[in-house]
Structure 1
Amino acid sequence: MNNDIFKEKLKLAELNKTTFAELVGTSGQAVNNWNTNGREIPYWVESWLNLYIENKKCKKLKQLIKDAGVCN
């Protein structure tokens, strides 16, 4: 994953680097250092963000269904 894709995924997830760092248990400085001085973005970040985004969509859909009274 390159830095442009990382930024786009963060945007889709509605996260900034600081919040992302808190969620995954690392420092904001560590996240900021990715893609600098030969430090690559860890392999797991893309799949983590994909799952986070998908989960967020599912939660929104679940709330819409609940609000519509479809499952009452």
Structure 2
Amino acid sequence: MGSPLPGLLSMANSGLNTNGSQFFLTCDKTEWLDGKHVVFGEVTEGLDVLWQIEAQGSKDGKPKQKVIISDCGEYM
């Protein structure tokens, strides 16, 4: 992954040649993922929003409340 820092946007995979359309954002340092996933983006502003979304997670994988991402800008 390169530098395992919070706010990295990476491609999820389950091994060699398994990259697909799933991705994840790191919310903390993730040294154990270094060299295992392709990083293709980084949160440069708004990490506080990422942590607010993270706070809606649970151990069973179901969010505590619905999270909607809207009016998030445009990729250029």
TM-score of the aligned structures, taking structure 2 as reference length: 0.26
Q: Write 1 or 2 for the structure with the bigger share of strand.
A: 2
Q: Write 1 or 2 for the structure with the bigger share of helix.
A: 1
- Which structure's CA Rg is the greater one? 1
TM-score of the aligned structures, taking structure 1 as reference length: 0.27
